[in-house]
Amino acid sequence: MGSALTTIGLPVALGIIMLGLGLSLTLADFARVLKQPKAVIIALLCQLLLLPAICFGLVLAFQLPPILAVGMMMLAASPGGTTANLYSHLFRGDIALNISLTAVNSVIAVITLPLITNFAIAYFQPFDDRLGLQWSKALEVFAIVLLPVALGMLIRRFWPRFASGMDKPVRIASVIILIVVIAGAVASNWALLVANFTQLALITVLFCVISLTIGFLVPRWLRVGKRQAIATSFEIGIHNATLAIVIAQSVLGSVELSLPAAVYGVLMFFIAFGFGFLIRDRSAAEAEAPASTAPEGS
């Protein structure tokens, strides 16, 4: 995927997506974390510690080739994407919590993503001539992730009307550009993707299901509210595959490294949609249970 479509198009598409995220954020979204510390801490611990450990176990169990193993670990280290907010809205999650988690995760990922990626590269050694994400490359991750977000937040702070008016067009533009770029990337590397799809389909599906389940059940076990648990489920379960693809191709210059994120990015939409109906029905049943048993106790 060394064409201009991917080397230039993918970073531009991600930049527009992150700019759109920034247009929807204020400093209050970060401050809101202090109002829901329990839900935020649980979500971050699952995102930053539990999921990378589970992904590492899956990679070893499936005995993936080193390059694909590192790609999976990079995917696990990627923060939640803005798509999580959409799914949370559809299935009645706490959108404010989603926005706050996305904001915090995007900042933390600047540190954790290079660390986890470098650990995976050191362990699996997919490259003979590279050591991983050095400081200069880590700065590229910073620029890719945070600078567009910061720009969007500044625009919203000083030109709120303009930011409000641009929010929807930027979202639409980011989706269109992303579809065009990914479609072009897939078309130009169709044979490579097909050759690895079978090997990656099961592990990416398992990882997605496990991520979504942990994001919902762990908060519920720790007595976090249902709407907050739905929000954390999608925030933890829907990783920013676009970010993983951009770092793999644009920063590390490897097509194969981006394959797990590419396969995950396609399958995740369907899995998350089905999971949303599952937890919505479960939450509805839990809410109706007291009402249905009340007459018996009267």
Q: Do 174 and 17 meet the contact criterion of CB atoms below 8 Å apart?
A: yes
Residue 127 DSSP code: -
Rounded CA gap, 189 and 61, in Å? Answer: 27
Residue 27 DSSP code: H
* pLDDT tens for each residue of 156-200: 888 888 888 887 787 777 767 667 766 766 676 677 777 788 889
Task: Measure Cα distances from 125 to 29, 39, 72, 105, 134 in Å.
Answer: 39, 36, 14, 27, 15
* pLDDT tens for each residue of 38-78: 888 999 999 999 999 999 999 999 999 999 999 999 999 98
Residue with tokens 């009645």: 92
Between 13 and 90, whose confidence is greater? Answer: 90
Rounded CA gap, 267 and 251, in Å? Answer: 24
52, burial (CB in 10 Å: exposed 0-12, middle 13-18, buried 19+):
buried
* pLDDT tens for each residue of 236-253: 988 888 888 888 887 787
Alpha helix segments (H runs only) across 83-189: 83-90, 95-124, 135-158, 160-188
**pLDDT band at residue 6 under the 50/70/90 scheme:** low
Question: Percentage of the chain with pLDDT > 70?
Answer: 81
Residue with tokens 């997605």: 208
The answer, yes or no, to whether residue 36 has pLDDT greater than 60, is yes
